[in-house]
Structure 1
Amino acid sequence: MKLHKESTGTIVVASIVFAIVAFLSVYYLEQWSLLIIVPILILYGLVFWFFRVPNRDILDHKENVIAPVDGKVVMIKEVFEGEFLHDKAIQISIFMSPLNVHICRYPVSGQVIYKKYHPGKYLVAWHEKSSTDNERTTVAVESKTNHKIVFRQIAGYVARRIVFYCNEGDQAKAGHEFGFIKFGSRMDVFLPVDTEILCKIGDKTKGGINVIARMNE
C-alpha cells in the first residue's frame, strides 16, 4: 500500500507511542498485556489506512466538475461568495470522515489565479459557518470554459493540519492532487449559478472520479 508523503511525521510519532505502550504493557501487565496491545495495534493500523493513496485512473475533463475529495455531499445551495467571486454561486460541500481518503484534488482544469490561507476556529466541519470561520484555504481557478471556480479546504474539530501545494499561475488538472487535510474535514466548491448540478445531498463521492456538476461553455 502506497502512503502519502504527509504521513511521515504522524507515523513516526505513532510508532514511538505504540512501542512504548507495548513495552510497558508487557512489563507491567504480563499475560494481560494483550488487552492493551490489541486495541492500540488496531489504532496504529488505522493511521496507515488514513494515509493510503489509492490508484485511480484520472481522465481529462473540460466542462465536467470532478469531486475533489472522497466523502459525502452535505450541502448544495446558492450563496454569496464574498472572498474572491463577490457574487452569487452554487456551493457544494463534501464532508470527509477520518476513514475517507484525504487527498484534495482540483475539481476543474484551468489555471490557478488565487490562493490564500486563513487561520481560524475549529467548529465541527459540517457546521455551516465553518466555511467562513474555521481554519481554511481558498483557491480559485480560471477554468477551460472561462469560468472562475473557487474551492476551499476547511479544517474541522479534529482536523488541524491543512496543506496545499499549488501556486498562482500553476496549471490545474481536474482530479489531480493539490493538497491534503489530516483527520476529518470538509471541502467546498463554488460554481456559477447556471451550472448543471449532477449530485444530490447524501451522495457518496470518490475524489478524482465522480462528476458532480457540468458547466456551460
Structure 2
Amino acid sequence: MIRFHKEGYRIIIIAFVLSIAGILLVEKFIETSWLVITIQIIIIAFLIIILQFFRNPKRLTVLGDDTIIAPVDGKVVVIEEVEEPEYFKDKRLQVSIFMSPINVHVTRYAMSGVVKYSKYHPGKYLVAWHPKASTENERTTVVLENKTLGEVLYRQIAGALAKRIVNYAKEGDKVVQGTDAGFIKFGSRVDLFLPIGTKLNVKLGDKVNGGVQVIAEK
C-alpha cells in the first residue's frame, strides 16, 4: 500500500477535488470527444505527479552509531573539503545530494543522537545544484551529535521550485537514525558536513536511497 507524507495531505485532497471537478466540467462544456479525452488525461497525469511527489515509502533502517545513512533519496553531486562558515567555522567534508522532483522528498535523520543546533535561514531560490545554494538559498541547518561520530551537520536547501522547507528537528531532541526529520517541497538538495577523514562509501554521480543506504562511516 502506498503511504503519503503528512505534509502532503492537504495538497493531495485539493488536487483530488480539482481533478474530479476538472474531469466533470470538461465533459459538460466541451463537445469534441478527442479534446475531452486529452484534457482528462492531462488532469489525471497532474494528479499522479502530485501523488508520487508526496509518497513516503517505509524504509527499514539498520541502526549503527558509527554509520551515516543517506538522509534523502537522490544523486550525489558534491564531494569536497570545504570551510563550513555557520557552525563549525573550520574545514569539513561536504557531501551533497540533489533531489529531482521525481525523488522521494522525505528528509530522514542520518544518524542517531541529540540535536545540538537547529536554525532556519530565509534566502534565495537558486537552482539546487548552484555552488552558492548552500549559503544563499532558503535553508535549515541542523547539527546532530553522538558519542561515536561526534557532531555532524546537515542542511536542507530549497531549490528553484522548492518553496517550503519543513524541519522537525528541535534543539535538545533525542533522535533515531532513519526516522522522519522533515520534508522539502518540489525539488531541492541536502548537504552533509562530516569530520575530515570520514570514510565515504559513495562517489560522485551515485544514486542513494534515504533511510537505508550507508554513505559514510567512522
Question: Which TM-score bucket, shorter chain as reference?
Answer: over 0.9
Aligned partner of 1:183 in structure 2 is: 186
How many residue pairs align between the two structures? 215
**Identity over the aligned pairs, expressed in percent?**
49
Aligned partner of 1:8 in structure 2 is: 9
Given that 1:154 and 1:187 are in contact with CA atoms closer than 8 Å, whether structure 2 keeps it comes out as yes
Q: Distance in 2 between matches of 1:78 and 1:155?
A: 22
Opposite residue 10 of structure 2, the aligned amino acid is G
Give the alignment partner of residue 37 of structure 2, picking from 34, 37, 51. Answer: 34
Q: Runs (4+) of structure 1 moved beyond 3 Å?
A: none
Aligned residues: CA RMSD: 1.2
What is the correspondence of 1:1-217 to structure 2 with a 5 Å cutoff?
1-30=2-31, 31=33, 32-215=35-218
- Per the TM alignment, residue 17 of structure 1 is displaced from its structure 2 partner at its CA by 2.6
Opposite residue 26 of structure 2, the aligned amino acid is S
Given that 1:140 and 1:149 are in contact with CA atoms closer than 8 Å, whether structure 2 keeps it comes out as yes
Q: Which structure 1 segments of 5+ residues have no match?
A: none
Q: Distance in 2 between matches of 1:142 and 1:67?
A: 16
Q: Distance in 2 between matches of 1:124 and 1:58?
A: 30
Given that 1:96 and 1:184 are in contact with CA atoms closer than 8 Å, whether structure 2 keeps it comes out as yes
Deviations 1:11-46 (A, max 9, x none): 133223323322332122232311101011011012
TM-score normalized with structure 2 length: 0.95
Deviations 1:59-113 (A, max 9, x none): 1111111100000000000000011111100000000011111110111121100
Given that 2:138 and 2:158 are in contact with CA atoms closer than 8 Å, whether structure 1 keeps it comes out as yes
Q: Distance in 2 between matches of 1:200 and 1:46?
A: 30
Given that 1:73 and 1:203 are in contact with CA atoms closer than 8 Å, whether structure 2 keeps it comes out as yes
TM-score normalized with structure 1 length: 0.95
Given that 1:25 and 1:33 are in contact with CA atoms closer than 8 Å, whether structure 2 keeps it comes out as yes
